[in-house]
Amino acid sequence: MVRTFTKGEQSAFSNLLDAKGNYTLLFTVEAPKQIMVGKLGLGTFPAGIYAYTGSAFGRGSSSLGGRILRHIKKDKKKRWHIDYLLSDYDVHLTTAVVGVLSKKLECVVNKGLKEAFRARIPFLGFGSSDCTERCDSHLLFFGHARDVVERTVELYEAKADCGVFVFKFA
Protein backbone atom coordinates (compact mmCIF):
# COMPACT_ATOMS: atom_id res chain seq x y z
CA MET A 1 0.00 0.00 0.00
CA VAL A 2 1.29 3.46 -0.91
CA ARG A 3 0.37 6.49 1.17
CA THR A 4 0.92 9.95 -0.29
CA PHE A 5 1.31 13.13 1.78
CA THR A 6 1.70 16.73 0.73
CA LYS A 7 3.88 19.47 2.19
CA GLY A 8 1.25 20.66 4.67
CA GLU A 9 1.01 17.24 6.30
CA GLN A 10 4.36 17.22 8.07
CA SER A 11 2.71 15.57 11.06
CA ALA A 12 2.76 12.44 8.91
CA PHE A 13 6.47 12.27 9.65
CA SER A 14 5.63 11.43 13.26
CA ASN A 15 4.68 7.96 11.97
CA LEU A 16 8.25 7.59 10.72
CA LEU A 17 10.16 9.11 13.63
CA ASP A 18 11.35 5.74 14.88
CA ALA A 19 10.96 3.89 11.58
CA LYS A 20 13.92 2.42 9.75
CA GLY A 21 14.44 1.90 6.05
CA ASN A 22 15.51 3.49 2.81
CA TYR A 23 14.49 6.59 0.95
CA THR A 24 14.91 8.20 -2.44
CA LEU A 25 14.84 11.97 -2.73
CA LEU A 26 13.67 13.32 -6.08
CA PHE A 27 14.65 16.88 -6.85
CA THR A 28 15.22 19.29 -9.69
CA VAL A 29 18.02 21.62 -10.63
CA GLU A 30 16.41 24.49 -12.51
CA ALA A 31 19.43 25.67 -14.52
CA PRO A 32 22.94 24.23 -14.93
CA LYS A 33 24.91 24.86 -11.73
CA GLN A 34 28.29 24.38 -10.24
CA ILE A 35 28.14 23.53 -6.54
CA MET A 36 30.96 22.79 -4.11
CA VAL A 37 30.27 19.42 -2.47
CA GLY A 38 32.48 19.30 0.60
CA LYS A 39 35.68 17.31 0.17
CA LEU A 40 34.47 15.90 -3.15
CA GLY A 41 35.03 19.31 -4.69
CA LEU A 42 33.25 21.32 -7.34
CA GLY A 43 30.54 19.53 -9.28
CA THR A 44 28.68 20.55 -12.40
CA PHE A 45 24.99 19.72 -12.30
CA PRO A 46 22.94 20.04 -15.49
CA ALA A 47 19.32 21.14 -15.32
CA GLY A 48 16.85 18.31 -14.82
CA ILE A 49 15.62 15.66 -12.42
CA TYR A 50 17.87 13.89 -9.91
CA ALA A 51 17.49 11.04 -7.44
CA TYR A 52 19.50 10.45 -4.29
CA THR A 53 19.01 7.17 -2.44
CA GLY A 54 19.97 6.76 1.20
CA SER A 55 19.15 4.77 4.29
CA ALA A 56 18.13 5.62 7.85
CA PHE A 57 18.48 2.96 10.50
CA GLY A 58 18.90 5.07 13.61
CA ARG A 59 16.49 6.67 16.04
CA GLY A 60 15.23 10.21 16.35
CA SER A 61 17.08 12.45 13.88
CA SER A 62 18.69 9.37 12.28
CA SER A 63 15.35 7.65 11.67
CA LEU A 64 13.47 7.86 8.37
CA GLY A 65 11.30 10.73 9.57
CA GLY A 66 14.28 12.54 11.06
CA ARG A 67 16.28 12.26 7.86
CA ILE A 68 13.43 13.47 5.66
CA LEU A 69 12.75 16.43 7.96
CA ARG A 70 16.46 17.33 7.77
CA HIS A 71 16.50 17.12 3.98
CA ILE A 72 13.54 19.50 3.71
CA LYS A 73 15.46 22.29 5.45
CA LYS A 74 17.54 24.67 3.34
CA ASP A 75 19.53 26.08 6.25
CA LYS A 76 21.47 23.35 8.03
CA LYS A 77 24.99 22.36 8.90
CA LYS A 78 26.38 20.54 5.87
CA ARG A 79 27.24 17.07 7.06
CA TRP A 80 26.53 14.79 4.09
CA HIS A 81 27.08 15.25 0.36
CA ILE A 82 23.35 15.66 -0.27
CA ASP A 83 23.24 18.60 2.17
CA TYR A 84 25.35 20.67 -0.23
CA LEU A 85 22.89 20.20 -3.07
CA LEU A 86 19.67 20.55 -1.13
CA SER A 87 20.90 23.73 0.59
CA ASP A 88 21.23 25.51 -2.75
CA TYR A 89 18.25 27.73 -3.51
CA ASP A 90 18.18 26.65 -7.18
CA VAL A 91 17.74 23.00 -6.15
CA HIS A 92 14.15 22.01 -5.35
CA LEU A 93 13.24 18.88 -3.42
CA THR A 94 9.96 17.70 -4.90
CA THR A 95 9.35 14.21 -3.52
CA ALA A 96 10.63 11.65 -1.04
CA VAL A 97 9.78 8.00 -1.65
CA VAL A 98 10.26 6.13 1.60
CA GLY A 99 10.37 2.38 2.16
CA VAL A 100 9.92 1.16 5.73
CA LEU A 101 11.92 -2.04 6.12
CA SER A 102 14.45 -3.75 8.34
CA LYS A 103 17.39 -4.16 5.96
CA LYS A 104 19.51 -1.80 3.90
CA LEU A 105 18.52 -1.88 0.27
CA GLU A 106 19.78 1.50 -0.84
CA CYS A 107 22.26 -0.04 -3.29
CA VAL A 108 19.61 -2.35 -4.75
CA VAL A 109 17.22 0.59 -5.19
CA ASN A 110 19.98 2.84 -6.56
CA LYS A 111 21.04 0.23 -9.15
CA GLY A 112 17.40 -0.43 -10.05
CA LEU A 113 16.75 3.28 -10.65
CA LYS A 114 19.94 3.62 -12.69
CA GLU A 115 18.82 0.80 -14.94
CA ALA A 116 15.13 1.78 -15.15
CA PHE A 117 15.87 5.36 -16.15
CA ARG A 118 19.17 4.75 -17.96
CA ALA A 119 20.40 7.36 -15.55
CA ARG A 120 23.78 9.05 -15.65
CA ILE A 121 26.09 9.49 -12.70
CA PRO A 122 26.70 13.23 -12.43
CA PHE A 123 29.30 13.06 -9.65
CA LEU A 124 31.44 10.03 -8.77
CA GLY A 125 31.55 9.12 -5.10
CA PHE A 126 28.50 11.19 -4.18
CA GLY A 127 26.77 9.68 -1.16
CA SER A 128 28.51 6.35 -1.60
CA SER A 129 31.57 6.66 0.63
CA ASP A 130 30.21 3.95 2.94
CA CYS A 131 28.69 1.85 0.15
CA THR A 132 29.28 -1.87 0.56
CA GLU A 133 28.25 -2.74 -3.00
CA ARG A 134 30.78 -0.46 -4.69
CA CYS A 135 28.22 1.85 -6.25
CA ASP A 136 29.92 4.65 -8.16
CA SER A 137 27.43 7.13 -6.73
CA HIS A 138 24.08 7.24 -4.94
CA LEU A 139 23.18 10.36 -6.91
CA LEU A 140 21.61 9.80 -10.32
CA PHE A 141 20.65 12.20 -13.11
CA PHE A 142 17.43 11.37 -14.99
CA GLY A 143 17.40 14.34 -17.36
CA HIS A 144 13.77 15.14 -18.07
CA ALA A 145 12.32 11.64 -17.58
CA ARG A 146 8.60 11.13 -17.12
CA ASP A 147 6.65 9.26 -14.44
CA VAL A 148 9.61 9.42 -12.06
CA VAL A 149 7.60 9.17 -8.84
CA GLU A 150 5.39 6.34 -10.05
CA ARG A 151 8.31 4.30 -11.40
CA THR A 152 10.33 4.86 -8.22
CA VAL A 153 7.41 3.62 -6.10
CA GLU A 154 7.07 0.56 -8.36
CA LEU A 155 10.76 -0.19 -7.87
CA TYR A 156 10.43 -0.01 -4.07
CA GLU A 157 7.42 -2.31 -4.18
CA ALA A 158 9.22 -4.81 -6.41
CA LYS A 159 12.67 -4.79 -4.82
CA ALA A 160 11.94 -4.05 -1.19
CA ASP A 161 8.46 -5.51 -0.63
CA CYS A 162 7.72 -2.93 2.03
CA GLY A 163 5.31 -0.21 3.10
CA VAL A 164 5.90 2.78 0.82
CA PHE A 165 5.22 6.40 1.71
CA VAL A 166 5.38 9.27 -0.77
CA PHE A 167 5.92 12.80 0.49
CA LYS A 168 5.39 15.61 -2.04
CA PHE A 169 6.96 18.97 -1.29
CA ALA A 170 6.38 21.05 -4.40
Q: What is the pLDDT of residue 13?
A: 64
Residue % of the chain over a pLDDT of 90? 63
pLDDT in tens, 70-88: 999 899 999 999 999 999 9
Q: How far is CA 132 from CA 24, 58, 111, 112, 152, in A?
A: 18, 18, 13, 16, 22
Question: pTM for this one?
Answer: 0.92
Higher-confidence residue: 27 or 61?
A: 27
Q: Distance (Å, rounded) from C-alpha 74 to C-alpha 103?
A: 29
pLDDT in tens, 106-153: 999 999 999 999 999 999 989 887 777 888 999 999 999 999 999 999
CB neighbours of 122 closer than 8 A, spacing ≥ 6? Answer: 43, 44, 45, 46, 50, 137, 139, 140, 141
Q: What is the pLDDT of residue 92?
A: 96
Taking residues 56-68, what's their average pLDDT?
89
Domain coverage including residue 118? 2-168
pLDDT in tens, 37-61: 999 999 999 999 999 999 999 988 8
Structural domain total, the chain? 1
